[in-house]
Amino acid sequence: MYRQLSIFGFIVVVKSNITICSVVYNDRATNLFDLMVRSVIKYTEPQPKFIICDNGGNDLEKYKSLKNFTIVSGSITKSKGSLQHGESLNKIVSLVETQNTAIIERDCVLLYKGWDQLLSNYKLVAAKKGIYKELSYYHIFFTIFTTEALKGIDFRPGTNNRTNRNYKLHEDVGAKMGELVPPSQIKLLDFIDCKSNKGNFFNNSFQSDELHLDGTPICCHFGRGSNLSGKAIRHGFEHPQKQLIKWKEKVESLLGKEEEK
């Protein structure tokens, strides 16, 4: 949450200005949340705050006693899937008190020290998901923003018809980000589909993705981490469960390599 620096003999306390928000559901099935947290701690200084929404199926006991972790229970709702995700983001993002906020889903792993400084003169850092009626929409799994820029945003998908269904690009979770922040105030990350064989760490045997900035990997994302059964089984690819094992092994080696230096 903070670190101490000695400048001309004076002790200066540097506090973190960013909070990590993450919705965690069904993590016992994949055990990805620990990897995400490890990568954040490794590549972020001073240590940030975490606000976690526990939507069930998780083992978060060891985090409850940590001062920089706040864990809240998911809303009592009949909603599932995307709608529950959006409701949970509304709940935890509204609790942020730091200048900046990052949404990092539990199946993401950071790969870049200084990621939390990417905002600089921008209000939002994200990867473009697509364009609908000349308006850009962005991926929600990894995004950084000034807390004020998205204050009061409704992350829920849909508008009037909020049911458990497939949502289109312009009505998915976090779609309003692109409506609240103009393109000139958004630093774009490049979305790299690893199936294209353009990933830096993961080749075209993985149905996953990486986010790059000018060719530098910022984070990797497994995808469908809370709903592995919902990950498409494609011809020419190993079963998602086998991909998960190999993805985690690769991430472990990446984190381990950096720690040995």
pLDDT in tens, the chain (261 residues): 555 444 444 544 457 899 999 999 989 989 999 999 999 999 999 999 999 999 999 999 999 999 999 999 986 556 678 888 999 999 999 999 999 999 999 999 999 999 999 999 999 999 999 999 999 999 999 999 999 999 999 999 987 767 767 889 999 999 999 999 999 999 999 999 999 999 999 999 999 999 999 999 999 999 875 566 566 677 778 888 999 999 999 999 999 854 443
pTM above 0.85, yes or no: yes
CA dist., res. 81 & res. 78, Å (int)? 10
Helix, coil or strand: residue 50: strand
In angstroms, the first-to-last Cα distance of the chain is: 24
CA dist., res. 201 & res. 241, Å (int)? 19
CA dist., res. 88 & res. 8, Å (int)? 45
